[in-house]
Structure 1
Amino acid sequence: MKRLLAGLIVLLVLLTGFGIAAHVLIDRSALRDDVVAAVKRQTGRDLALGRFSVQVLPWPSVSAGNVVLSDLPGSARGPMLKAREVRASIALTPLLWREIRLENVTVLGADVSLLRDADGRANWEFTPPKTLENDHSSSRPRVQARWKLAIGSASLTQANLSWRDELRSWRGHVVIDRAELDGLHSPSPYIDFHGHHDQTPFTLTGHIGPLSLLRGENPPWALSLGATLGTNETHQDWLNFDGQLMDPQHLRGLAGNLRGEIAHLSDLHGIFPHARLPEINDLGGELGLFDAETKTDTQGWKAFASHLGVNHVHLHAASLPSWHDIHAQAVHVDGETLSSALAVDADLASASHVWHAQGQFGTLSQALRSWQDRLNTSLPVSVTVQEPGKSGLEATDQRDRNDGATFNVSGHIGAKESQLALSGQAQSLAIRNSALHEAKFGLTIEAKGWRWFHLKDSKFSSQEAEWVSDLIFDDRERRKLSGSVHVSRLDLDALQGIWRRVTPPVKPQIAPSVPAAPGVAGIAQKSAPAANEAKTPIAPSTQTPPLSLVQRLRQQDADLTFEGDNVRFNQRDYHALKTHVSLQAGHLTLDPISGQGPDGPLAGRFDYHAENDDPEMAAQFSPLLLPASWAQQQAGLPLLLRGPLEVVGEVHARGQQPNEWRHTMSGHLGLSMVGGTIDSHLLGQFVGQDVQSVLGHGDIGLRCLGIHADIADNRAVVDSLGLEAGALMASGHGDFNLTTHEMTLHLTPRVGIAGAGASTPVLVTGTIEAPHVQQEAGQDGRFEVTIGGAAEDVCGHALSAAREGLAGQAPPAPKKRSRAAELLHDLGIFH
């Protein structure tokens, strides 16, 4: 035991003495110069070391501060690498063959800048100089030993890594929190990176190829890499790649399998903020990748992606970005081999429907070739979209108006030409608030490039409509739409849920109540208006669309013919409807507008010269039929009337917007309706709210309406007005401001109750949206109330004036009821 203890003491003394001797005898300057010379000899770069120290015990090691490695020779850029401190151990055995192999290299506080210029020169490629003069670190000459420098393993802590690839237009920056690199001198180094960009953490772990690439060589790399994105507390995205890279210097010759799961593809923006990746959720699966050796003039990641080929694919995604409010969900893309079909399976969801789509886009090889040459090679396409099968309660749900709907697309698409055949059918197909029954359609689309389309052999039929069309869209030199649409039959009543505007009920603005005149239930108000009573006009709307009508008309041409053999509207049939639409250089004409109504011919013409700086509009109606709801919408009026509105007259106007037309409009117009409905709530505001109980609620039948006006100076002077709806008849005259909707109407309403009636003149002021009603005194200053007496039929005179003498539909005869039944009806109790 004593001998062992004595031996240990002797060994300790010897080691201590050896350490002291080495510390004294080692020439630190010479070792420092050897390291700098070795770096210069092997890389062609200049290495600058600040503080430099050597330690022998407990293991030979070196330490350096303020380490700087220069960029490419001759470059005016800053250094490629700067480090606050570098520490490393020296392996002893390699010293025997003059190799300084550094192990456990620890780099603290590093800034690494990787750059490749537009000529393809990369600063991470190290090229030894052809000749190197001997260094003279001191005035006395000494023998220069050629030492080789090698790194076996390394670690980085809190390193800033930035890169810029001007050749591929890539750039980025990340912070390496911790990085471990092992076996750097071996054919398969191991890397383990942990870093973050902004607030997004990531990891990269696995094996890469030999680092002789850094010395200018280009050996093939075997790759096995795994990456994660996010933290363990959240769903962590991951990617794995196993394969090889034949040309690592140029990122070419890739082959291998890529697998992964990414919760949101946009999560990658945390690392690649300029990638502009789409919103794809729960993306995952496997891709077999290989280098397709294609040529492209694109840059960035798209150029890199265009080089990639896919020899098998199995991908899934929970959802894809929406297209025109259609969302693709539960998407699956599969292709087993290059010769297998590329199959796509997805659910398509809109606001009210869910469809199932299945399609094939040629073989995987064909799809790859079309992708690489941007569809210059045409791609076969076959897609079926159908309503998912129902079972249980779903199969008996009467609210689901889709039944047996199936759509098919087949043909080929290409950048030079495409041809697709579309067809479909459905027992019941819901569209907005209506439904088509026993619907079928067929269509062929021919395309030349992406700017010429021919929609030919287009046919549609259902219980509600049937038409054929032939249309050509040409956007090669100037956008133009030409062709024809021939409607055999169209039931607008059955499809009113599609075109009819639905507005929520508007709470009326009730004028201050005034004691009613004796014997009249709210037909008029007794007191006259105060002289200083304030009025609050509604300012005209100044909102303009993003693109004016004139701009849209000047951007395209059109030559279209529309024909309608039989159109049913408001329970009446119209035949031989026809118009020709011509648009050329901003000049729009609809001429002729013709047809045959139930009570005579329909005719009109519309002409708009938008090619001039001061556009002019002219319209003739003799007569013309328009949906009342559409006409009120275009005029910016509340939805009071529903049904066919007959228009007679001629108007002229100037301007680029509808509000300018109203300012400059001149001419004469007659508006009439027979049948249809009128909103009793809005009507009651024009004759007094107390009449509401007599008129009933909701829409009531309109026996007749006739209005005739001369238009000039932004005003419509109404010389004749008459209507009859339910228990109310009214006639009068007045004027109306086309812009502010202010009005002054002199009306004589008459309310009939149980065969009797009462009337009194009233003055209606305010606006259409907020009318103000008061009883109107006669010329002698007295208020007149008429009770009883025979009621004069206002329909004949009002319709004759509105139609300007043209023949038209006669109003229906008044219904005959007993006095008791008429009283209950007028009170809204009996219908």
Structure 2
Amino acid sequence: MATPEAPMDGGRPPGPPLKPPAGLPPGREPTPPRRRRGWWIAGGVVLALPLLGYATLSVLLDGEYLRRRVESAVTAATGRPFTLSGPVGLKLALVPTVVLEGPRFANAPGGSRPEMFTARRVEAEVALLPLLSQRLEIRHLTVVAPELLLETDAAGQPNWRFHPAAAPAQAPDSRPAPAPGAASTGGRPVQGYAVELRQVELRDGRAVWHDMRSGQTEQLALPALALHTEGDGTLRMMGDVGFRGLALSLDARGGSLSGLLSAQSGTQPGRPSAQDWPIDASLSGEGIQAQLSGTFSGNVWSGRLRVSADNTARLAMLVPGLALPPAEDLALDMDLAPGGPTSIRLAAGKVDLPRRDSGPDISLGPITVTAPDLGARVSATGEAQIGDLPLSWRADLPPPRAVRSGRGGPWPLQLSVTGEDLALSLGGTLAGPGPEGAAMDLSLKIQDLRTLGQRAHLPLPGLRGLEASTHLVGEADGWVGLRNLSLRSEQAEATGDLRLRPGSVPAVDGRIDVARLDLDAIPPPLPPAPAKADAGQGAGQGAGQDAGGATPTAPAAPAPPALPTGSRKVIPDLPVPLDRLAALEADLRLRVGLLRAGRLDWRNGEAVLALHGGRLLADPLAIDGAGGRIALRVAAEGTASPPSLDVSAHAPSVDLAALLPALGLPGGVSGMLDAETALSARGRTLREMAAGLNGSLGLALADGRVDISLLDAVAGDLRRLLLPNAPRNGSEAVRCLALRLQARDGVASAQAMLLETDIASVLGSGSVDLGQERLDLRLLPRARLGGIGLAIPVVVDGALAQPRLRADPQGAASAGAAILKELSNRRNDPGGMLGQTLNQALGQILGEGDSEADCAAQLRIARGGREGPVPAPAAPENRQGGVGDLLRGLLRR
């Protein structure tokens, strides 16, 4: 029995072919059942994969598995607690988003606050398909309102150094193994997932830096910052940063995330250098830029740092409290190394130093400062400009680290400055960061100090061939000693020892010995040099010429505005800044061997000055010259309200013929003057002091001479009236000059006032109100003509600026009586009772009957009661002639 043939089509028995279903178009064959099943299977897979991904997420989120997973993973990796204070949610989408609310990461023990990191919310977009292969691929992680605290504790340890927890020993699992094909439950642990992070975005974040040792705190605003993984696995960060009001842009590239987590623990001995995490970052803003290229391992950086800024105002915003002068084109380059920065280079295009009062503009630049490292010597070179004077300088400085620590000294220091006809050098050693213990030699050479001052816009005297030197010594309490100080030039020679103490109130003490000083040979300072001609001027124009070829003249200074007639003052309202005495402390002793001034030699000068707490005492101030010794004493108190000034002087024998030209005053007077004064005043201006002047002034002179031209300039009209036939040329003998004024509250009253020559005299009394600048004087000029005395009383009043001189209306009788007195004398009855009575009566009227009206008495009063030289007795008068000579003199006939 034959065996039937197996079917060839999958089991359908042979038979006639199937007919197509009704309704199919002709030629269209029906789809085989196997192909239809394939499409159904493919569609099911497409629908099942997302469902499986969501199911996987549901399993992960089930029972807050993800919360525990994340918290335990971060805690185990860092050794610090990590918690999620809010719920864990899921936003369904093609790429679902996991939402973690309120993440908190604990700070290091002993930190300033419990959390190192907090955020309002973390959103993670998780790819579904990688979950099937146990990979957690986070395509986009968004952190909203993060706040990161980076700080160092009291011991200097950073809080970003983590200590991962040791993995606990796994106990053997005593539970029976599940049957094959049994499904695992959500409560059992599952295999770990590999985490892959593609992109991180920070919104409205903030980073805080805190140093617990110094208390310094800084904040960095992070309004928008994005971190993503490049194709090669490296990280790139871009975004905006705000720091102290300065908007900055950040662009950084680094290694992988896993490398960063590995590098933060630091390189351990014996471990490969692959732990170093590379970084290339730039931070830029308006006028400022920083670049860092290198590697990071633990808290150690290695690489190159470059920082540049167009001016110091940018740095002032970044580093408040940094007192830097205005500077331009700043640049800092250094290599970062574990032991500290190396190959340091600091450069500045221009540095403007602070200007003092009316001093010149001073600038430095360009400047270059280099050092191999902080433990090596520093080299600095650059240019300088003082006014229009260019200079070059170079300095070799001690190591910054050694000077700051104060150990390892002394350290050498060198500074040299050169310019046109100028050379300055400073060399020696420093013992520490302050001046104490320093020892250096300073030398200065200037060919022409006056010309140098003109270019530097400084009013310097015309010393030529100047050479100065000293030995600088740093002393305790901030003092700097200038020992063996020496100054030599063609016009001066001086030595001394000084001590200086810089500070808010500088101090100076010591001695200065001037062997010689020729002020007549020192020309005055020159005005600043004119500005150079612009480069755009024609080649044919010389320096200092205008377009027409002529040398322009300096514009005349505008004339001061004229004061109203009624407000003119003789005493200027100039400030007397005694309050500035509080800005200096001083104890000085000065000696002068020879001083030449005004073509007069002064010798044996001495000055002792003490200035403390705004109180000045200069006693003595003395020097020999002009026929005698002049001594002064000056005391001032600048801290009083108002400030006070006391001046006393005594010159018992001064040659006026030599002194007046030396002081720049008109000559024409000779004789030995005895002068003394003791005056005190209070006020802030010269006019205020004059208004409150107290004290005395005395002048006494016997047997001198005065030029007639000077008498005519002082009292020409009165002299010509009284002496119409008096000589107009030559000189006239002065028998005596006596003047003593006693001032009280600004009113100076005459106690003695007499000028007597061979042919005339002037006796006076009255007062001068210095506060109101008013005169109230009564003068009695007397002339002798032909043996007859003529007296015409005169009143001098009005303002000092416009004095009025007029005859005293009450003095006519006195003048007539004076004539009668002389007539009585001419009638040979000088000793008769009538003449004696008339003489006494007329003497009381004329003010000459008293003994104080003669030269000896008036000179004694002027000297303050001291005796002194008196004029020789007057020659007997020639009594020839008569009244007609007098009348002809008066009537000019």
Q: What TM-score, normalized to structure 1?
A: 0.63
Q: Which has the larger radius of gyration?
A: 2
- 1:349 is aligned to 385
| Residue-by-residue CA offset, 1:632-663 (whole Å, 9 max, x unaligned) | xxxxxxxxx97699993242659899999879
Distance in 2, Cα, partners of 1:32 & 1:668 = 101
- 1:14 is aligned to 45
- In the alignment, residue 23 of structure 1 is paired with which amino acid? Y
- Deviation of 1:732 after TM superposition, in Å, equals 7.5
- Deviation of 1:179 after TM superposition, in Å, equals 1.8
- Deviation of 1:49 after TM superposition, in Å, equals 5.1
Q: For structure 1, which segment, 169-178 or 317-326, has the greater mean C-alpha deviation from structure 2 after superposition?
A: 317-326
- Deviation of 1:342 after TM superposition, in Å, equals 4.5
- In the alignment, residue 351 of structure 2 is paired with which amino acid? S
Percent identity over the alignment is 15
- Deviation of 1:30 after TM superposition, in Å, equals 2.6
Q: 1:74 to 1:608 in 2, by over 3 A?
A: closer
Answer yes or no: is the 8 Å Cα contact 2:464–2:491 preserved in 1: no
Q: Select which of 179, 187, 196 maps to 1:142.
A: 187
Q: Secondary structure at the match of 2:146?
A: strand
Which runs of structure 2 are paired with 1:620-631 in the superposition (5 Å)? Answer: 620-623=648-651
- Deviation of 1:283 after TM superposition, in Å, equals 0.7
- 2:349 is aligned to 317
Distance in 1, Cα, partners of 2:747 & 2:168 = 96
Q: 1:76 to 1:606 in 2, by over 3 A?
A: closer
- In the alignment, residue 50 of structure 2 is paired with which amino acid? G
- 2:596 is aligned to 567
Which runs of structure 2 are paired with 1:270-669 in the superposition (5 Å)? Answer: 270-276=317-323, 278-284=325-331, 286-290=333-337, 292=339, 308-313=340-345, 315-322=347-354, 327-335=362-370, 342-350=378-386, 352-361=387-396, 366-374=398-406, 377-387=409-419, 404-415=421-432, 416-429=437-450, 430-431=452-453, 432-433=458-459, 435-449=461-475, 451-473=478-500, 481-491=509-519, 494-495=522-523, 497=525, 506-511=560-565, 549=582, 558-568=587-597, 570-581=598-609, 590-606=618-634, 619-623=647-651, 648-651=675-678, 666-669=694-697
- 1:110 is aligned to 146
- In the alignment, residue 14 of structure 1 is paired with which amino acid? V
Which runs of structure 2 are paired with 1:679-694 in the superposition (5 Å)? Answer: none
Answer yes or no: is the 8 Å Cα contact 1:151–1:184 preserved in 2: no
Distance in 2, Cα, partners of 1:433 & 1:68 = 70
Does 2:808 align with 1:763?
Answer: no
Q: Please identify which structure carries the higher strand content.
A: 1
Q: Select which of 193, 212, 231 maps to 2:261.
A: 212
Distance in 1, Cα, partners of 2:676 & 2:37 = 129
Which runs of structure 2 are paired with 1:22-171 in the superposition (5 Å)? Answer: 22-23=53-54, 26-27=58-59, 28=61, 29-43=64-78, 44-48=80-84, 50-54=86-90, 58-59=94-95, 61-72=97-108, 77=113, 79-90=115-126, 100=136, 102-120=138-156, 122-128=158-164, 142-145=187-190, 147=192, 152=197, 153-171=199-217
- In the alignment, residue 143 of structure 1 is paired with which amino acid? R
Distance in 2, Cα, partners of 1:490 & 1:571 = 9
Distance in 2, Cα, partners of 1:463 & 1:803 = 43
Q: Secondary structure at the match of 2:315?
A: helix
- Deviation of 1:489 after TM superposition, in Å, equals 1.6
- In the alignment, residue 764 of structure 1 is paired with which amino acid? G
- Deviation of 1:280 after TM superposition, in Å, equals 2.8
- In the alignment, residue 173 of structure 1 is paired with which amino acid? Q
Distance in 1, Cα, partners of 2:666 & 2:83 = 90
Distance in 2, Cα, partners of 1:283 & 1:356 = 21
Answer yes or no: is the 8 Å Cα contact 1:422–1:443 preserved in 2: yes
Q: Secondary structure at the match of 1:436?
A: coil
Tell me how large the CA RMSD over aligned residues is: 5.8
- In the alignment, residue 155 of structure 1 is paired with which amino acid? E
Q: Secondary structure at the match of 2:220?
A: strand
Answer yes or no: is the 8 Å Cα contact 2:53–2:132 preserved in 1: no
- 2:247 is aligned to 201
Answer yes or no: is the 8 Å Cα contact 2:424–2:442 preserved in 1: no
| Residue-by-residue CA offset, 1:15-47 (whole Å, 9 max, x unaligned) | 334324543561333333322333333342232
| Residue-by-residue CA offset, 1:224-252 (whole Å, 9 max, x unaligned) | 44433424xxxx4222233345551xxxx
Q: Secondary structure at the match of 1:53?
A: strand
- In the alignment, residue 419 of structure 1 is paired with which amino acid? M
- In the alignment, residue 37 of structure 1 is paired with which amino acid? S
* Count of residue correspondences: 660
Q: For structure 1, which segment, 124-133 or 441-450, has the greater mean C-alpha deviation from structure 2 after superposition?
A: 124-133
- Deviation of 1:361 after TM superposition, in Å, equals 0.6
Q: 1:573 to 1:76 in 2, by over 3 A?
A: closer
Distance in 1, Cα, partners of 2:492 & 2:522 = 9
Answer yes or no: is the 8 Å Cα contact 1:125–1:214 preserved in 2: no
Distance in 1, Cα, partners of 2:210 & 2:338 = 23
Q: Secondary structure at the match of 1:58?
A: coil
- Deviation of 1:419 after TM superposition, in Å, equals 1.3
Q: Which runs of 5+ in 2 are unaligned?
A: 1-30, 171-184, 269-274, 528-556, 655-662, 668-672, 705-712, 718-733, 756-761, 782-792, 813-854, 871-893
Distance in 2, Cα, partners of 1:595 & 1:214 = 81
Q: 1:425 to 1:14 in 2, by over 3 A?
A: same
Q: What TM-score, normalized to structure 2?
A: 0.60
- In the alignment, residue 279 of structure 1 is paired with which amino acid? P
Does 2:223 align with 1:177?
Answer: yes
- In the alignment, residue 510 of structure 1 is paired with which amino acid? P
Q: 1:9 to 1:598 in 2, by over 3 A?
A: farther
Answer yes or no: is the 8 Å Cα contact 1:357–1:383 preserved in 2: no
Q: 1:359 to 1:228 in 2, by over 3 A?
A: same
- In the alignment, residue 712 of structure 1 is paired with which amino acid? R
Q: 1:245 to 1:538 in 2, by over 3 A?
A: farther
Q: 1:736 to 1:781 in 2, by over 3 A?
A: closer
Answer yes or no: is the 8 Å Cα contact 1:80–1:113 preserved in 2: yes
- 1:230 is aligned to 285
Q: Secondary structure at the match of 2:462?
A: strand
Higher relative contact order (CA 8 A, sep 6+): 1
Distance in 1, Cα, partners of 2:295 & 2:780 = 91
Answer yes or no: is the 8 Å Cα contact 1:34–1:147 preserved in 2: no
Answer yes or no: is the 8 Å Cα contact 1:370–1:376 preserved in 2: yes
Q: Secondary structure at the match of 1:36?
A: helix
Q: 1:495 to 1:286 in 2, by over 3 A?
A: same
Distance in 2, Cα, partners of 1:9 & 1:718 = 137
- 2:308 is aligned to 261
- Deviation of 1:775 after TM superposition, in Å, equals 6.7
Distance in 1, Cα, partners of 2:806 & 2:742 = 24
